[in-house]
Amino acid sequence: MDQIIGHYISGRCITETQHSGPVFNPSTGEEIARCAYADATTIDLAVKAATSPNAKKWAKASHAARLQVLFKMRELMVSRTAELAEIIGREHGKTIPDAIGEIGRAIEGIEFACNAPHVTKGEYAHNVAGDIDVFSIRVPVGVVGCITPFNFPIMIPAVMMSMAVSVGNSIVWKPSEKVPSAALFFANLWKEAGLPDDVFNIVQGDKVAVDAILEHPGIAAISFVGSTQIGEYVYQKGTSYNKRVASFTGGKNHMVVMPDADLEAAANAFVSAGFGSASQRCMAVSLLIPVGAETANKLRELIIEKTKALKLGAYNDPQADFGAVISAQSKQSVLKAIDQCVADGAELILDGRDYEHPEYKNGYYIGPTLFDHLKTDMDFYKQEVFGPARGILRVNTLDEAIEVTNSHEFGNGSVIFTRDGKSSHRFFMEVESGMVGVNVPVPLPVSYFNFGGLRRSKFGESHLYGPDAARFYTKLKTISQKWPAPEENDQTISLAFKIT
């Protein structure tokens, strides 16, 4: 394969590389390019660009000047949506409508970043004592290292980086090596929007690049989204180098359905939120928890019928509901999890292991798979299965449903379907999840609210977007000032520890 997808540093692409890895089209299974892999030298080159005089001018630019770039970037994202969706679909495998939806959420993130002047406003107190005024300001942290996953090649980067650049930082971004092309397209849009060349830099690669980012003294903050195992590593190593780190990790999202719920709506929600994007979303519903045997039995039949009607297909198949998983390795991992769950004694009621696309026999497809009678001691319950295999875990009471939800190590998202306000209130007050839905299958908040899980779904105290993101990408300074009149001449000395 001749095409090399390279790095983007100081406004130009760099394809020279010592090491590279394959890039596949998951829908067909064919290798479509090679991705250059960065080493420590490449990272250093990117950091030098991000700390150049050109980048420092951006840090000192006015809010108005920065916002003009963001406004233009939003326009470009809207006008280039179809082209970008094609790139995402080809390398990720998600359907074109799904990719367009992702881009829409990315645009929403850019729109919120235009509020940076408001959400970074400081405080002011006049004449706290002796004509002294005290005020606070927020300034950029400097260079932000961004490490993003394959499952949202544009939404997560846009949410991270639009706020980071809006408040004056520069970027060194390592996208997933599985989906490198969308990153370069995104970088070119920033350039067209007027962002100075040195402010936005991309380094492609694997763990070598990640470690170099974590260790580099010129990078002040790290924002990460990915698996829990890697996210914990990033957090621990990054903070050991005295960096500010926000790490957003895995989820095993529970959907509780009460007997009084609209079961038709609940079944539609479970199938949509559970199998969309081949279940490769950290906010996907993983587990259905019906309360009571009658609720479970009715839901089971509804879900079987609706799931059987789902159509798999290539990313550009207009009839496809969802597509392939990201890689051959991912497919094997999901199949292994299904096999283990069968061995552990769960009831396999829909089996997608033998699905084969009629045209693309080498594509990484897995048919929708569904288990019933899961138990909390099964690996399938404990692990985040990043593929279209979902499960039903039956309980008898709301108390039991909350206990099961809170016993899991992850606390990303949890939802309840009910018509009863008291059940809803109990659930969202008692459940230990960072994002909670009531009759909403995917409680992914809009961009002006904070996003982030609890427990092992997040490391660090920041959030991915919302007002907390602006705070993460800025550092606080507090200034005490006094302006004596020209004729004043204070000759006194006082060693007392006080403000007068």
- Whole-angstrom distance, CA of residue 415 vs CA of residue 438: 6
- Whole-angstrom distance, CA of residue 287 vs CA of residue 382: 11
Give the confidence band of 231 by pLDDT, cuts at 50, 70, 90.
very high
- Whole-angstrom distance, CA of residue 250 vs CA of residue 302: 28
Give the confidence band of 320 by pLDDT, cuts at 50, 70, 90.
very high
Q: Which residue has the tokens 């991309």?
A: 202
In this prediction, residues 108-134 reach a mean pLDDT of: 93
Q: Which token pair is 93?
A: 């495998």
In this prediction, residues 291-297 reach a mean pLDDT of: 97
- Whole-angstrom distance, CA of residue 406 vs CA of residue 415: 12
Between 33 and 432, residue with greater pLDDT? 33
Please identify which of the residues 35, 114, 146, 282 carries the catalytic annotation: 282
Q: For residue 454, is pLDDT > 90?
A: no
Between 352 and 465, residue with greater pLDDT? 352
Lowest mean pLDDT among 132-146, 344-358, 459-473: 459-473
Q: Which token pair is 136?
A: 């606070």
Lowest mean pLDDT among 325-329, 464-468, 491-495: 491-495
Q: For residue 491, is pLDDT > 80?
A: no
pLDDT of the residue at 36 = 96
Q: For residue 410, is pLDDT > 90?
A: no
pLDDT in tens, 435-451: 888 998 887 777 777 77
Q: For residue 499, is pLDDT > 70?
A: no
pLDDT in tens, 167-215: 999 999 999 999 999 999 999 999 999 999 999 999 999 999 999 999 9
In this prediction, residues 296-310 reach a mean pLDDT of: 97
pLDDT in tens, 149-174: 999 999 999 999 999 999 999 999 99
In this prediction, residues 329-335 reach a mean pLDDT of: 97
- Whole-angstrom distance, CA of residue 23 vs CA of residue 326: 10
Give the confidence band of 17 by pLDDT, cuts at 50, 70, 90.
confident
* Rg from Cα positions in the chain: 25
pLDDT of the residue at 456 = 83
pLDDT of the residue at 243 = 96
Number of Cβ within a 10 Å radius of residue 262: 14
In this prediction, residues 63-80 reach a mean pLDDT of: 97
Residue type, 456: R
pLDDT of the residue at 500 = 63
Mean pLDDT of the chain: 94
In this prediction, residues 19-26 reach a mean pLDDT of: 96
Domains of the chain: residue spans and CATH: 4-249+457-479 (3.40.605.10), 253-438 (3.40.309.10)
Comparing C-alpha atoms, which of 481, 482, 478, 467 is closest to residue 122? 478
In this prediction, residues 213-226 reach a mean pLDDT of: 96
What Å distances lie between residue 161 and 14, 144, 146, 182, CA to CA? 21, 9, 8, 14
Q: Which token pair is 261?
A: 């719920």
Q: Is 13 among the catalytic positions?
A: no
Q: For residue 1, is pLDDT > 60?
A: no
> Which residues lie closer than 8 Å to 273 by C-beta, 6 or more apart?
255, 283, 284, 285, 441, 442
Give the confidence band of 460 by pLDDT, cuts at 50, 70, 90.
confident
- Whole-angstrom distance, CA of residue 204 vs CA of residue 175: 6
Number of Cβ within a 10 Å radius of residue 489: 7
Of all residues in the chain, the percent with pLDDT exceeding 90 is 83
pTM (predicted TM-score): 0.93
For residue 115, the 8-state DSSP code is T
